Amino acid sequence: MKTSYDLTLNIRRYDPYQNRTWVQTYQLEAGRIMRFVDLFRKINDEQDATLAWGSSCEHGQCGSCSVRINGKPMLACELLVENAVNEFGSTTFFIEPLPVASVVRDLVIDTDQAYARIDQVKPYIISPRQPAADGEAHQISPEELDRYVDATRCINCFCCSAACIASHDTFLGPNAMLAAIVRVMDPREDEKQQRLETIYSENGVYRCHSSQACSFVCPKEIDVAHFMALAKQGAITSS
């Protein structure tokens, strides 16, 4: 078993002050269980302090370190060097920012712009359904919860949006759709109509072509395409 790898990282960089894009190559030796965020940090420490990248929790829960590695949208905090070498069969990696929003600098994208699509579907309860009796908490049966609990694990890392066959300019994106579908399936929510109008709008479900790339790349292993198909079928409003 190899304990370290000689890696070549080709990173797409962007300088907003000069409005210049280029690809910069970094050579580095890395241990097999180092993560890609560790590689970026190692580059900052040892080679180039100007390389900008984003991360927050670094435990696969916040989705802020998403990048495209050899074309595949992934969380840089979850990808180990050894797994990447095995998956791509190479020690050379091309790393780019996600194409879902404009680039602020290097691997950092404008998250406000990306989140604007999520905001459109109002990913919160608008009109809470009243519980059966005053003072009681609303209860969801395990059967009801089973239908959509997987979808609630979405961390909005935008990997699904980046992988989707539809264009990022016209489709709200699989994660925004998922947020809308969750609230339609949620029995605690009374306001369904607004979400249904968004789901069945020209920038909604009609832009999904069931390419299932969203499910394939989802770091939380959510079958996003399954929920999109349920929406098309009309199977999200039965509860």
Partner 1 sequence: MTSSTAERYPLVRYFFHLHRIKGWPYVVSWAHRISGVLLAGYLLFHVTTLASLRNPAAFENKMQTFAALFPIYVEWLLAVPVIFHALNGGRLLLYEVFGNRRDRLVLNWVMVLSGCYLLLLGIFMALGNQQVSPVFFWSYLALSSVLFTYMTITRLRISGASKGWKLQRISAAFLLLMIPAHMLFMHLDPALGRDAQVIIARMNNGFIKLVDLLLLIGVMFHAAYGVRGIFLDYLASPRARTVCTGVIVLVSLYFTWQGVQMIVSI
Query: 1 - beta bridge partners?
Result: none
Strand pairing category for 103-105 and 108-109 = antiparallel
What is the maximum span of the chain, computed from C-alpha positions, in angstroms? 65
Do 173 and 160 meet the contact criterion of CB atoms below 8 Å apart? yes
Q: 11 or 199: whose CB is closer to partner 1?
A: 199
Output the smallest distance, CB 20 to partner 1, in A.
26
Do 198 and 121 meet the contact criterion of CB atoms below 8 Å apart? yes
Q: 51 or 157: whose CB is closer to partner 1?
A: 157
Q: 138 or 200: whose CB is closer to partner 1?
A: 200
Q: Which residue has the tokens 């100007």?
A: 50
Q: 57 or 149: whose CB is closer to partner 1?
A: 149
Q: 43 or 69: whose CB is closer to partner 1?
A: 69
Output the smallest distance, CB 162 to partner 1, in A.
10
The DSSP string of 93-137 is: EEEE--TTS-EEETTEE-HHHHHHHHHHT--S-SSBPPPSSTTPP
| Binding residues vs partner 1 (CB under 8 A) | 70-72, 87-88, 163, 165-167, 169-171, 196, 199-200, 202, 205-207, 209-213, 215-217, 225-226, 229-230, 232-235, 237
Nearest to 39 by CA among 1, 4, 88: 4
Output the smallest distance, CB 86 to partner 1, in A.
12
Output the smallest distance, CB 221 to partner 1, in A.
13
Output the smallest distance, CB 119 to partner 1, in A.
18
